Amino acid sequence: MDEKPGTLPGLPILSDVPLEKDRLLAEFSRLIGDRILFGAEVNPEILKKSESGAKFLLRDPPAPSKLLALWGSLFENRISPIRLLEVLGPTIHGFGHRESTLLFARDRLVYDTRITHGSEQIGEMTLYFRTEFERGEGLLGLFRGRTLKIVFIENISLREQSSGYASALFRYYEELFGRIGYHQFRLKASLSVGKYYWAKEGFDCLDESGVARMRKRLMELIRSKKLPIREWEVERLNHAYDVAKFRRDLKITVYRDTEGYYALERDSEHMEEFLLPVGKAFLLVSDPWDGYKVIYTDTPRRTGFIYSERYLSHKTPQGHVESPKRLEALLKAVDRDGLRDSLVFLKPYSADPESLAEVHDTDYLESFRNAAANGAGYFESRDCSISPESYEVALLAAGGVMAGVDAVMNRRVENVFCAIRPPGHHATRNAAMGFCFINNVAVGAAYARAAYGVERIFILDWDVHHGNGTQDLFAEDPLTYFCSFHEHPTFCFPGTGRRMERGTGAGQGYTLNIPLRPHAGDSELIELFDREAVPEIDRFRPDLIMISAGFDAHSDYPIADIDLSEKSYEHMTRRICEAADRHCGGRIVSVLEGGYHRPAFTSSVIAHLKSLQGRS
């Protein structure tokens, strides 16, 4: 079969209903007769005793009942063995599979093949299909767990590594395995090129200690080479992908041997010299690492979700509406609605001093740090309650938005929701107010410009309270368009955000405030959004869209007087996604602001997340 590179064949992959057992047994029998289907032993101890050096030992095929049992657990009998062999062996860029076999081991199915280019064998590949039980959290973890279906790339080797075949095959397989119900890729990144390639393709270390070891060794390399890289730049790397993309502007010399393996120093074997970006060079010379990648298949768009339990460490007094319980309720709702498996969970990092200085005065930040460290109960105004960890948590919140910018700019995800606290859109350059200390969305916008050269940024704020801090920070900036929907300032905190406020100086005309009358509902909001906001996005043609996503304009929120429902958040999100597709490759960074009636808050965020994923 020769399809367009990296695409699946047009015919359906899975049957709508389980196939009859007689058909499966007939195909098993045919493959056994053609010497394509065997039993196999993959137990490492048995292989070691055999002294064969093989990856597995061939055995007679298992009994028909065992063939059916394993096939049913792996594929629910919705694909036939012959069809599986067909879709596992596409012809891509002139490369194909030959001498392919299906091997039935005790707890897994093995696909083993030779990779050919024309008539020449240029590599081999072995895949394992198996299931694994993932225990849930807490004392009842055994009852809350789930069964994962995993594809393990045990081995892939190619003599022609620059053909683009591996990349195209991987993307083809990612779609294929998602369609047949698999949740994860796993692999051992043992090949020299593979150690970089798999990281670039989004594979991560199996546990956090693997990434921690990467950071430590990368820092050792930086020091040995005396590279102009600060330690906080390395500390923010939370994923092997981040390492692969690290400091592409700075290159170092590495040396390659005839087999394609790299070293930092020239020796008798590593003679060919290359100048490569730091992150790529580091991975190419690093030790092998085990990795995995979640396969996200049930949503049209990949949506990231930034979160850390450390956000709960910003404590507020009993009864304060901006409490850790907001995020606790949201995480429970994400699990309850089954979104955990489809969202790409991403870790934040702490914002660095240089990024913060783009938005806030250093004296203001130092005052905030001292207030938290000295045990003050609030900072600057009594509504801005703090605890000893509030300053560090606020840095992590701003860094969460920066991590979200990284994710969309590096294409790990199409869009991202930053489930962070404390919120930020009321914070000005040198003042805290309205529960806000650091203007998170402003820090993210400044970082997008500094790190990725993003020019035109559209910020949409739909919190019921006007984002006065964000407006003030960008009032004179013609490259940052600030648009806000909020309750009319005559009736609602902070009393700013009138129609006449359109920006100042060079930024005149790049602020649009759309105040809503008390008790405005879905129909009024949707009409205004489509008539005023969407045309302005199209006129501005942004390179990145950011959302200050507050959910306190819901009708159930008792303090404000706007009567929106989840319908409005779903509609605005869908329209923003359409505009992002038109202008900036779908890149959206949504940042949590307000939302304090917990049931309304969680249901509204869930509607927003599903719309970001393209589900609505």
614/348 Cα distance (integer angstroms): 24
CA atoms of 424 and 314, how far apart (whole Å): 14
Structure tokens at 591: 């940042």
Q: In what order do the strands lie in the sheet with 204-205?
A: 57-59, 37-41, 95-104, 108-117, 120-134, 146-158, 184-189, 289-294, 204-205
CA–CA distances in Å: residue 344 to residues 347, 373, 578, 613? 10, 34, 21, 11
**What distance in Å separates the CA atoms of residue 13 and residue 428, rounded to the nearest whole number?**
55
Residues designated as active site: 426
Select from 457, 451, 238, 443 the least CA-distant residue to 349: 238
> What separation in angstroms does the CA of 285 have from each of 190, 196, 252, 273, 289?
11, 9, 12, 13, 12
Token readout for 501 is 């406020």
3-class state of residue 39 by DSSP: strand
Q: Which ranges constitute the DSSP H helices of 76-186?
A: 81-88, 141-144, 165-179
Is-contact 261 270, C-beta < 8 A?
yes
What is d(CA 400, CA 420) in angstroms, rounded to the nearest whole number? Answer: 7
CB of 97 within 8 A of CB of 115?
A: yes
- For residues 532 and 512, the answer to whether their CB atoms sit within 8 Å is yes
Identify the three-state secondary structure at position 571. Answer: helix
Strands 381-385 and 415-418: unpaired
Token pair belonging to 355: 């990024």
Both structure tokens of 122? 């240029």
d(CA 85, CA 97): 10
Residue 163's SS3 state is: coil
- Burial of 136 from C-beta contacts in 10 A (0-12 / 13-18 / 19+): middle
Distance CA 605, CA 263 (A): 48
How many Cβ atoms sit within 10 Å of the Cβ of residue 387? 16
The H-or-E segment that residue 195 falls in is helix 192-200
107: nearest Cα among 79, 129, 139, 77: 129
Helix (H), strand (E) at residue 274: strand 272-277
What are phi and psi for residue 378, nearest 5 degrees? -155, 165
Alpha helices in 358-455 (DSSP H): 362-373, 390-409, 440-452
The letter for the amino acid at 580 is A
Instruction: Tell me the three state secondary structure of residue 320.
Output: coil
* The residue to which tokens 């009942």 are assigned: 65
